[in-house]
A = this chain, B = another copy of it.
Amino acid sequence: MKNFFSDKSRRMQPSAIRRMSKLAIAAGPDLISFAGGMPSPQTFPVEELAEYAVSEIRDQNGRGLQYGLTQGHRGLVQWICEYASQKEIAATPPNVICTTGSQQALDLISSILIDPGDSVFLETPSYIGAIASFRNSGARMIPVLQDEHGMVPDDLRGKLKATPPEKRKLIYLISNFQNPSGISIRADRRKQIAVMLEEFDVLLIEDDPYGEIYFDESNRPPLPIKKEAPDRILYLGTFSKIVAPTFRTGWVIAEPGLVQKLELAKEAADLCGSMLDQRILYRFCSSSSFPEHLKKLRSFYRQRWMAMDESLQKEMPKTISWTHPTGGFFIWVTLPIGQDSESFLEEAISAAKVSYVIGQAFSCDQSDKNHLRLAFSSEHPDRIQEGVRRLAKVLRHN
């Protein structure tokens, strides 16, 4: 049999998280997981979702269980426009398309914009799923420095300059409480980055899955970059973190010409999303309990973040540092240079029963070995304390 695989399939790689999950499953229920960046099921509005599900399934004798529009449920699309306006993003329905989570948005955008060899500029470290989509499309990924205030504009400028104009395609960033670092981009930098889009004739994906999950009103994130250069920015949102992942619904807000192409790409990719899921989301998000729900989320994750930050302060050796996010799910840990977080991963999971994701997984250039990502979203504060103790023990003798 000849080799049937396409060039694209030869670029695909199993993710580090996937390899780790096998170890984690073997470790059993005593494992404390700081690995998966998943929302806590305790935050899911179970009773309301059950109520809306039943009424939407029964509505019009099941007519809502049919195929739907590729763009998404009309009511939800309209709701997304109104919700965006609260963040000073101007959007009408032709600016919006619903996707199967933000991951599909990244994949469809890659398919309509990236030819092999095109350059994508992204924070280092960056989101694993974005790296996978860009890699599969054959993009040349160019890492841009990130400090405690987010992507460094001067470094971005230098890297854009060093790239031939016709190869400059996309910048990718997570503006708020980044995955994996927890870092947000400072307001002045947002403006500086927006200016470069026109100057260097390049588009930007602003991915914002965590923006609602700020821990304090005083730490509310600055307005999205989208507002500064609406025609050049594809803004991505998702219900996965603020309602529940199972509804597999995210959205893109972009210039109508881009949205039309995304719609064509989605039509060939899966025809449409689930109208039932989208109508359940619409009912919940447009109900009076949604703003209260968001408030609860913020204090829920704040408590988990505090448990982790306090435990790290108490338990970690002095040689180890970490980020201090003001929202989101993640803390990024820096080990002394020369250490490799992969070298003791198996010991951590199998012997100490605590898991994390290795830093290298978030790197598009095989760097970040002396880092690891801790997610504080999934475990109870008591287990977070115990998990950090276990991890500190592993770190001390490695």
Interchain CB contact under 8 A, B57 and A53: yes
Binary contact readout A378-394 vs B (1 if CB under 8 angstroms, 0 otherwise): 00000000000000000
Measured between beta carbons, the chain B residues less than 8 angstroms from A264 are 9, 12-14
Say whether A341 faces chain B, with CB atoms less than 8 Å apart.
no
Say whether A147 faces chain B, with CB atoms less than 8 Å apart.
no
Say whether A296 faces chain B, with CB atoms less than 8 Å apart.
no
Cα distance A103–B266 in the bound complex, in angstroms: 10
Interchain CB contact under 8 A, A201 and B1: yes
Shortest distance in angstroms between A278's beta carbon and chain B's nearest beta carbon? 9
- A270's contact among B7, B42, B248, by CB below 8 Å, is which? B248
Interchain CB contact under 8 A, A261 and B12: yes
Interchain CB contact under 8 A, B103 and A245: no
Say whether A15 faces chain B, with CB atoms less than 8 Å apart.
yes
Residue ID in chain B nearest A37 by CB atoms: B67
Binary contact readout A220-259 vs B (1 if CB under 8 angstroms, 0 otherwise): 0000000000011000000010001111100000000000
- A100's contact among B41, B58, B100, by CB below 8 Å, is which? B100
Interchain CB contact under 8 A, B104 and A270: yes
Binary contact readout A257-294 vs B (1 if CB under 8 angstroms, 0 otherwise): 00001001101111111111100000000000000000
Measured between beta carbons, the chain B residues less than 8 angstroms from A41 are 60-63, 65-66
Measured between beta carbons, the chain B residues less than 8 angstroms from A1 are 201, 231-232
Interchain CB contact under 8 A, B107 and A269: yes
Interchain CB contact under 8 A, A103 and B201: no
- A66's contact among B2, B100, B244, by CB below 8 Å, is which? B244
Cα distance A84–B14 in the bound complex, in angstroms: 28
Measured between beta carbons, the chain B residues less than 8 angstroms from A53 are 50, 53-54, 57
Interchain CB contact under 8 A, A248 and B268: no
Say whether A182 faces chain B, with CB atoms less than 8 Å apart.
no
Interchain CB contact under 8 A, B4 and A169: yes
| Number of identical monomers bound together in the oligomeric complex | 2
Of A38, A54, A63, A269, chain B has the most CB atoms within 10 Å of the CB of: A269
Q: Which of A103-158 contact B (CB under 8 A)?
A: 103-104, 107, 111-115, 118, 129, 132-133, 136-137
Residue ID in chain B nearest A135 by CB atoms: B268
Binary contact readout A1-21 vs B (1 if CB under 8 angstroms, 0 otherwise): 110111111001111001000
Say whether A166 faces chain B, with CB atoms less than 8 Å apart.
yes
With A53-B53, A111-B9, A274-B274 as contacts: A4 and B203 at CB distance below 8 Å = yes
Measured between beta carbons, the chain B residues less than 8 angstroms from A316 are none
Cα distance A67–B274 in the bound complex, in angstroms: 16
With A4-B169, A5-B112 as contacts: A245 and B12 at CB distance below 8 Å = no
Interchain CB contact under 8 A, A57 and B49: yes
With A6-B113, A65-B246 as contacts: A129 and B271 at CB distance below 8 Å = yes
Cα distance A274–B4 in the bound complex, in angstroms: 30
Subset of 24 A-B contacts with CB under 8 Å: A1-B201, A1-B231, A5-B112, A6-B113, A8-B115, A12-B112, A12-B261, A12-B265, A14-B264, A39-B66, A46-B58, A47-B58, A50-B58, A53-B54, A66-B246, A99-B270, A103-B270, A103-B271, A129-B271, A136-B268, A248-B270, A248-B272, A248-B274, A269-B269
Q: A2-B201, A13-B264 are in contact. List 9 more A-B contacts (CB 8 A).
A: A2-B166, A38-B66, A46-B58, A47-B58, A65-B245, A65-B246, A66-B244, A99-B270, A248-B274
